[in-house]
Amino acid sequence: MWTETIRVMDQWFERLPSRNQDGQHIVDVSTSILETALMIISAAGFGRTIPWPDQDQELAAHHSLSWLDALKGVGTHLIVRGTLARFLFRLPIPNLRKVDKIFNEFEAHVLEMIDERRAMGQQGLEMNDLFSRLIRASDAEEGKARLSPDELIANIHIFLLAGHETTAHLLSSAREFRLSVCFFLIFK
């Protein structure tokens, strides 16, 4: 996690210098921190590095959302999906249909990744991200203790909810600390 955080944050700081007409730096910090948190979670949690949102994103022919867009959508709508009954997402309500589409795409990505990781394991190639470890631990279990694909996805939803908030708050706190140190050194 630490290595991926440093890698993503280094990239983030390289990308920051955008200026307005007056030469002032402009950064949408809340959006940047949330996207940065998702990038860290994707790399450390799923073993998938993703490009920055303003870069071209690879979209497989059988997907309607990129991995990053699916992650952002799940992060945004996890509470809504978790609290409403499933049948409501089949009603002709555009916003609920959109949420359903996001979760279906996310689950399709995750199911593909499960198959990829299991195939890698059979070839003797193992990754050390959280997702791969969860799959290996589940596959090592016998009988009822083994997680179904739906249970793996449910665990990933919990991981995303907890990890996204925690990482975003940590990055925000680190940014505040860095600004405090800068102000202290400037006005000392």
* Stated pTM of the model: 0.73
For the stretch 122-133, pLDDT in tens is: 898 888 888 999
What are the percentages of helix, strand and coil residues in the chain, rounded to 5? 70, 0, 25
- Spell out the alpha helix ranges (H) of 84-148: 94-122, 130-140
For the stretch 51-94, pLDDT in tens is: 776 666 677 778 899 888 888 888 888 889 989 999 999 999 99
What is 2-187's CATH number, 1.10.630.10, 2.60.40.1250, 3.40.50.10710, 2.40.50.110?
Answer: 1.10.630.10
One DSSP character per residue, 84-97 reads S-GGGGGSS-HHHH
Distance CA(40)–CA(48), nearest Å, equals: 9
Instruction: Indicate the domain borders of the chain.
Output: 2-187
